[in-house]
Amino acid sequence: MNNSRIILLGSQERELRYWLSGHPEGHERGAIILFRKLSRQVMGLPRSDRFVAIKIIRMVDEWIIDSSNTHLQINMRNFPAIYYECEQEGLELGFVHNHPSETDKYSTQDELNEINILKGLSGCNGPDTLLVSMLYSNNKWQARIRQSRSKDNFIRVRHICILSDTLDLYGLEDLREPPEHLKRQESAFGKPFNLQMQSLRVAVVGLGGTGSPIATMLARAGIGELILIDGDELDGTNMNRVRGYTLKHIGKNKAISLKSYIDSLNLELTVIAIPEYLHESPEALDAISTADVLFGCTDDVKGRDILNQALFYYGQVLIDVGLTGFVDKVEDGDPILRDHRGRVSCILPEAGACLRCQGVVTDQKIEYEQAISDNPALADLDAEILQREHYLTGGGVQAPGVGPFTSMTAENGVATLMNLLVKFRNIPEDLRFDNIWIDFIHLNFHSNQPKNNGRCIYCKEHQILFKKEKYRLDIPRLGKVPEYA
């Protein structure tokens, strides 16, 4: 599955549908889409570029020479300014049109338009240019890519991904027939569901009590490509709640060990392991930039902050999971579990409050985490002493790692991804789809309200949405973006 993927925001797709289908006489219409290409290669995975839509230009008036409900002839004289913009901004050119006649196949005129556009583009911007061509017909999308070095040939894309409050995939390339163990999954969600799962590339960051069951469930559920990221070694105390590990893996890297286990299942997926921490690793960051979906299962706030940025820079789904709890003591000194809850936060570029607005990531938490890293002895102090003597907010009893609770939270995370592909949940009005807590003590569900921050640069003002990077996520210590990207 090495073909390219196309990413549109829900607002962009709605604009295109409205424009393309809105001609007063039912004629074909066209538009220009400018894409940013994310092309970072990952060892062990096939190259699969991601094209995220940056700008839409409607073809009006002087753009059109002639049109009807079966053809569209465009004016090539208007393209030089577009070619120049692509060259100056490092963008890729896309052309999209519709077929009101409901014909799903590209026409001879479509092919002529594409070749003419590409000839002009390669003449201005060089021989390595390409053209993304999209077709809208019968309320569905399909796409193909032409390269200037072989203009008469085209390559189908892996899928077109629409990110709204759902994850909609169109134009899936011809994939293998799903294996026998996915037949019941097909009976629940329909045949396209398994093809969609197979087309996805998913990264799981953190492979402990929630990350390891999520990774193994994704593999068994038919995910096509899986990236496992964790720089930690398996500790013996983890064994009550992890999945896919045995005693022989204690003291060994979690990512490498879990990859070995998943490979042994022979489930026909491609899985790679990156044995590094996300917030320290350029390799890991390049890998997650290639993913369609991110699962945040890490204990460190720095890693979550990276993921919170990545979903907006790269146009992705983030499903972040975590647990909290409190263990008290009764009069005789025995422990009693007063609180234990699991959280699933589901965030898309245009839907859901980001992790900072949800309070999952804060500067105070990052400061506390860094202080503990610099001086591990601080972790033994209670919250009051930390605040009074070290000006740190944090500390206290950590959430206990109880296997059934970590696994249930992980299962809800995977079910959340499935619900993005095929909506099956009827969420009560008092719950938010982007923030769901499972209370294991009182056996109920609830949501926390996010901060009312209308100026959040992530999920409100979208200042970093599809932002061009000089350094990875504009963090100098993570190095410059590779030239091929």
Task: Give the domain range for residue 370.
Answer: 180-478
Asked if residue 143 and residue 198 are part of one domain, the reply reads no
* CATH number of the domain enclosing 140: 3.40.140.10
For the entire predicted model, the pTM comes to: 0.94
- Predicted local distance difference test score (pLDDT) of residue 93: 96
What radius of gyration, in Å, describes the C-alpha atoms of the chain? 24
- Predicted local distance difference test score (pLDDT) of residue 421: 97
Asked if residue 138 and residue 274 are part of one domain, the reply reads no
Asked if residue 140 and residue 112 are part of one domain, the reply reads yes
Domain presence at residue 175? no
Asked if residue 149 and residue 220 are part of one domain, the reply reads no
Asked if residue 295 and residue 202 are part of one domain, the reply reads yes
* CATH number of the domain enclosing 401: 3.40.50.720
Asked if residue 155 and residue 234 are part of one domain, the reply reads no
- Predicted local distance difference test score (pLDDT) of residue 379: 60
Give the residue among 50, 57, 140, 148 at the shortest CA–CA distance from 94.
57
Enumerate long-range contacts of 374-382, CB under 8 Å, 24 or more apart.
Answer: none
Angle, to 10 degrees, between the axis of helix 301-314 and the axis of helix 282-289?
Answer: 40
Q: What angle do CA 159, 75, 171 make, to 5 degrees?
A: 10
Asked if residue 376 and residue 241 are part of one domain, the reply reads yes
CA distances from 185 to 136, 262, 418 (A): 29, 19, 10
Which of 170, 190, 214 is a domain's end point? 170
Domain presence at residue 203? yes
Which of 123, 152, 170 is a domain's end point? 170
Using an 8 Å Cβ cutoff, are 171 and 157 in contact? yes
Domain presence at residue 398? yes
Asked if residue 339 and residue 472 are part of one domain, the reply reads yes
Domain presence at residue 395? yes
Which of 145, 170, 195 is a domain's end point? 170
Asked if residue 99 and residue 36 are part of one domain, the reply reads yes
Contacts of 188 (CB under 8 A, 6+ apart): none
* Euclidean distance between CA atoms 213 and 233, whole angstroms: 17
CA distances from 245 to 133, 209, 241, 263 (A): 45, 11, 10, 13
Domain count, the chain: 2
Domain presence at residue 483? no
Torsion of CA 270, 275, 277, 280, to 10 degrees: -100
CA distances from 451 to 217, 302, 457 (A): 33, 20, 13
How many CB atoms neighbour CB 470 within 10 A?
8
Using an 8 Å Cβ cutoff, are 201 and 291 in contact? yes
Grouped pLDDT means (10 residues each) for the chain, 485 residues: 90 98 94 96 94 97 92 90 93 95 86 89 86 95 91 89 97 75 90 93 97 98 97 92 94 97 94 96 96 96 96 98 86 84 97 97 86 67 48 52 91 98 94 96 95 94 94 94 74
